Structure 1
Amino acid sequence: MRRIFFLLVAGVLFWAGCDQATTEETGGIVTLTGQVLDAETNDPIVGALVQLQPQGLITETDSVGRYRFEVTIDSTMELTVSATKTGYSSASLPVLAVPDRTIEVPVLRLTRTATEEPVSGEAANILLLSQSDQAIGVRESGSKETAELVFQVSDSMGRPVVLDHAVRVRFRFGVQPGGGEYLFPEEAQTDNSGRVRVHVASGTKAGVVQVVAEADVNGRTIRSQPVSLAIHGGLPDQNFFTLAPAQYNFPGWVAYGLENTISVIVGDQYGNPVRPGTAVYFTTTHGVITGSVLTGANGQGSVTLYSANPLPPDGIAIITATTADRNQQPVTRSIPVVFSGPPNIDPCMLDNQNNCLPGIPVARLNQSYLLKITDHLGNPLAPGTRISVEAQGTKVKAVGHTDVELGDTGFQVLGAETTYDDVLRGPGITEFFFRVVEDQTLDEGGTPTVEAVVIKVDGPNGKLTWTFGPEAGSAKVLSEAGEIQIEGNRLKVFIPLN
């Protein structure tokens, strides 16, 4: 009983120590930012004095009434921020400061106590005061189509120009997509706070617009920096809906879990990228595919197709992507993808009419051969597969398709109706011709003699080597794939996928 009590006490002390270790704090820099506004008009108060206690720091608000403090503290503590301005009552509030944080202090609102008229000099600069939106949508896109920009015209001392020094401000585009976007009004006069407003309306094209405000003052022109605004595209359109895989052929029958990226590019009715966040849903007849994606700023997105059950019995899977257009109708596109398997070689000797002779081939001088190289289902092998043919012996070589790298698989029909028969096959894809001849480039003696022909396949689907000599029955096969059988002159390799 005493032993149990000792263990319990030790456990309590251990956890108490851990709790003490985790509650220790370290100091750091805290950044405080905020704004001082007029309590009645909600206008920024320029030149207000802002004080931070207990540090005793003081700063002044800028042209939009904002201020900033950076102060080092030892631990989390409460600070006091206060603001004063001649002609206004003061205001203060407590702020909980945490080391290594940036804290936005609630707005300090000062109430005017004196009724003095504002004064200013002549207009000297134009600054952007506020912007309602960073991006809008093209016309009839379902997104907001207008944005408001507010400019502040100030004198050389940063004071907003009053009515006595009001100026007419013109608005124009810097760059624009050219889809009929426009500004309204085209010009306006500043109010007693030196402010002027303009609205940007989108057109039919996506892109970036720049808005410039300018005014003439005593024979010179003052202008703002260009203000950028993005115009996003509309809803998807069937004619501008593109679906494509990273590879139309990948070795999905060789192993489970192999990946093939399926990408979509979605445009609106004007051929511009659709608005960001447009959802596209994906399905597949075979394997497993990521269900959906949201398009980015360029109208693009991608998902992943995995080799998995069910595997296509003929090697052809159909991938379909679906979204919706502005009329709430489906927008869809389908593509085929070949799940290719392990390599097979079907060689034969050709007669004078290029017809295959029966039986397993033998190595002979001045003999032509045909190779049919496919996967176990008769489909082309995946892109990147290397096929090489070498004639070994004295003063001999192989000519023709002796060094080939396969590209991606093509189709006669591309879409939801694609079938096994639509896969492109034939010379340079699944059929390869070569001939064993005398090598007249070699400066050596002796009679041309063929000792062996070596055929190698090496690529994503696996490695396979077939060697045959001048004697019947001399064929040898090496494979990394699995069980090998020779039926007639056809080589079959079987890989168990469980």
Structure 2
Amino acid sequence: MKRIALLFFVSVLGMSFLACQQEEKDVLVEGTVSELQSGDPIQNATVQVSSPEEFTDIFSRTDSLGQYELTGIDVSEVTDLQITASSSDYVERTRSLKVAPEDVVTDFDFELTEENTGTPGGDGDDDDDDSVTGESQGAARLELINVSEESINVRGTGGVENSTFTFAVLDSAGRPINLDNSVEVQFNMIKSPGGGETILPATVETNAQGRVVGNLASGDSSGVVRLEALIERPEVGLIIRSTPILIAIQSGFPAPDRFFIAPENYNVEGFGIVPGEGSTTYDYAVTASVGDKHGNPVKEGTAVDFRTESAGIIEGSALTDENGRATVLLRPDGSTPTSSPRGIGFFKVFAKTVDENNDYVRQELEMLFTTRNASISVSPQTVEIPANGSQRFSFTVTDLNGNPMAAGTEISVDIPEGLEASGDVGFTLSDHLTPGPGSTEFGFTVSDTDDEDSEVVGTTITIRVVSASSGSETTRTIQGTRAKQ
């Protein structure tokens, strides 16, 4: 029997260890992208995890020093990555990297070579002249001119939902092709969130300046769209591809399982209190956190409505910030709520917003208004400290309704010289809604430390409570003696 129990314990321990081993840990990869010939940094180059598929949404763009940083690579075991660096007018390069959980990889650098501007193999339409003057010849490469928006919003959220991109089609000498050499350019989505994203037009012919313009419209899902421009010239056996463009689609509609509200503190001073005009003493923040179904913040400016039941005045609505947070202020209004099953002082706060189906998404919470003054009881009620001894006291602090005092209330014990107190003698209350040890029940011990005075003397001990918002003070003093031999 003992052997079976031991085997079971080892098995459970092994499974626990395996579970711990499988926890995902972030990997950090950083480095620079530079030009091979000159060593100069390449700004705005794209560095992307191109394999495995689960990490292909992770990318970064280089800064003015050519530096990049890839984060959010969560692996639970040793993993082989393919990382690709690309930039307009340069040949993209892919490198392999083996990483383990929590690895920090530095100096993972890329050196890119400029694209060959000579005559592409098999293009009989181009001449051998490297001069940039004269009539242009056949299409040889694609160059990205502009992307209007690198980040757009999910369709229907009211933000920017389209991004326009412009390519120039150049001949082998780097000259824009003219109408005599015009070609059709196809726009393809290599990767997308699959939410109905569209590119219009899908195919377009170059204009007199050798340029083409396309437009990406977002769908109903957030994620990264990777698209390219492509030219097929079967007459010379040539396929021309652009460097891929990465456009992020973000900020979807509020999702029910990503909508939450919370105050800074649930227990606040406010029972029966009406703040004076212009006073901010009793302003309490309540914040809604609003995310879409992918866990991304909703579009900045999404409206959230608030209301209270039984107590308090709350600002009616707020708009989300860039992090999906909307904050309003709650103030006491003189009310003394008594209708909650939880007891006197409790009341509710409600919040709602609208999801993608125009249905309300709702949340609620319960808060507690407590009184500014405290009720203090102590036992024993008489001080009788024996010679060179000590005495233990227990005490209770509540508001006038028997609830814990508001979060931030300061409680202290004052004793005269010659005595020493230990225990709950100087602290600030945290956020509590129910009575009990640590919220309303406390204790301390007072010891005689005066070895020189041998007289029996009278003494007092004072328990002091200072409320969190108004600073109202309540005290309770007990008296007695400390005896000497």
Partner of 1:233: 252
Unaligned runs of 5+ in 1: 1-117, 351-359, 410-422, 472-498
Q: In the alignment, which of 386, 391, 402 is matched to residue 378 of structure 1?
A: 402
Would the alpha carbon gap of residues 438 and 147 (structure 1) be closer, same or farther in structure 2, given more than 3 Å must change? same
Given that residues 315 and 340 in structure 1 are in contact (C-alpha distance below 8 angstroms), is that contact kept between their aligned partners in structure 2?
yes
Structure 2 equivalent of residue 340 of structure 1? 370
Look up the match of 1:310.
335
Q: Does 1:445 align with 2:461?
A: no
Separation in structure 2 between the aligned mates of residue 288 and residue 340 of structure 1, nearest angstrom: 15
For residue 429 of structure 2, the aligned residue among 406, 409, 421 is 406
C-alpha distance after superposition, 1:388-429 (max 9, x if no partner): 2243243x32222112211123xxxxxxxxxxxxx3111111
**Residue of structure 2 equivalent to 1:430:** 440
Segments of structure 2 that go 5 or more residues without pairing to the other structure are 1-133, 339-343
Q: Secondary structure at the match of 2:136?
A: coil
Q: Is the 8 A contact 2:376 2:476 kept in 1?
A: no
Cα displacement (A) at 1:264: 0.6
Q: In structure 2, what residue type is equivalent to 1:403?
A: G
Q: How does 1:96-495 map to 2 (within 5 A)?
A: 119-120=135-136, 126-128=143-145, 131=148, 135-137=152-154, 147=162, 149-155=164-170, 159=176, 161-162=178-179, 164=181, 166=183, 190-193=205-208, 194-200=210-216, 202=218, 205-206=221-222, 228-234=247-253, 236-253=254-271, 254-256=273-275, 257=279, 258-285=282-309, 286-313=311-338, 314-350=344-380, 360-362=381-383, 364-365=385-386, 366-394=390-418, 396-409=419-432, 423-439=433-449, 444-447=451-454, 451-461=459-469, 462=471, 463-470=473-480
Q: How much has 1:386 moved relative to structure 2? A: 1.9
- Whether contact under 8 Å (1:287, 1:306) holds in the other structure is yes
Residue 161 of structure 1 contacts residue 192 of structure 1 at CA under 8 Å; is this kept in 2? yes
Counterpart contact for 1:146–1:199, Cα < 8 Å = no
Query: Secondary structure, in 3 states, of the residue corresponding to 2:415?
Result: strand
CA-CA distance at 1:260 after TM superposition:
0.8
Task: Specify the SS of the correspondent of 2:257.
Answer: helix
| Change over 3 Å in CA distance of 1:210–1:260 after alignment to 2 | farther
1:318 Cα deviation (Å)?
Answer: 1.2
Decide whether aligned partners of structure 1 residues 309 and 465 sit closer, same or farther in structure 2, where only a CA change above 3 A counts. closer
Q: Which secondary structure state, in structure 2, belongs to the residue aligned with residue 239 of structure 1?
A: helix
Provide, for residues 134-154 of structure 1, a one-character-per-residue CA deviation record: whole Å limited to 9, x for no partner.
Answer: 62316xx67699736342315
Counterpart amino acid of residue 244 in structure 1? A
C-alpha displacement of 1:284: 1.1
Contact 1:243 1:265 in 2 (8 A): yes
TM (norm. structure 2) is: 0.55
Letter in 1 for 2:430: G
CA distance in 1, matches of 2:355, 2:394: 51
Q: Distance in 2 between matches of 1:210 and 1:364?
A: 79
Write the distance in 2 (CA, Å) between the matches of 1:261 and 1:364.
47
Shift of 1:161: 4.8
Q: Secondary structure at the match of 2:306?
A: strand
* CA drift at 1:248: 1.3
Is contact 2:167-2:212 (8 Å) kept?
yes
How far apart, CA to CA, are the structure 1 residues paired with 2:220 and 2:141? 36
Q: 1:208 to 1:249 in 2, by over 3 A?
A: farther
- 2:416 is paired with a residue whose SS is strand
Distance 1:404 1:450, change over 3 A: farther
Contact 1:347 1:361 in 2 (8 A): no
Contact kept, 8 Å, 1:215 with 1:221, in 2: the verdict is yes
Question: How big is the shift at 1:387?
Answer: 1.3
Equivalent pair of 1:261/1:303 in contact (CA under 8 Å): yes
Partner Cα distance (1:469, 1:173) in 2:
83
Task: State the Cα distance separating 1:267 from its structure 2 match.
Answer: 2.4
Larger Rg: 1 or 2? 1
* CA–CA distance in structure 2, aligned partners of residues 306 and 119 of structure 1: 75
322 and 434 in structure 1: CA distance in 2 versus 1, 3 angstrom threshold:
same
Distance, in Å, in 2 between the alignment partners of 1:246 and 1:326 is 29
Change over 3 Å in CA distance of 1:226–1:340 after alignment to 2: same
The aligned amino acid for 2:393 is Y
> CA separation of 1:148/1:274 partners in 2, compared to 1, >3 Å: closer, same or farther?
closer
Q: What letter is aligned with 1:333?
A: Q
What is the rounded CA distance, in whole Å, between the counterparts of 1:385 and 1:131 in structure 2?
54
SS of 2:434's equivalent? coil
Q: How big is the alpha-carbon RMSD for the aligned residues of Structure 1 and Structure 2?
A: 4.2
Q: CA deviation at 1:375?
A: 1.9
Tell me, in whole angstroms, the C-alpha distance in 2 between the residues paired with 1:282 and 1:342: 26
Whether the 8 Å contact between 2:354 and 2:361 is mirrored in structure 1 is yes
Query: CA shift at 1:362, angstroms?
Result: 3.6
The Cα shift of 1:379 comes to 2.1
Query: What is the number of equivalent residue pairs in this alignment?
Result: 324
Pairing of 1:45-124 with structure 2 (within 5 A): 119-120=135-136
Partner of 1:16: none
Q: TM-score, normalised by structure 1?
A: 0.54
Alpha-carbon separation, structure 2, partners of 1:180 and 1:370: 64
Which whole-Å CA distance do the structure 2 matches of 1:296 and 1:158 have between them?
46
Alignment of structure 1 residues 13-52 onto 2, 5 Å: none
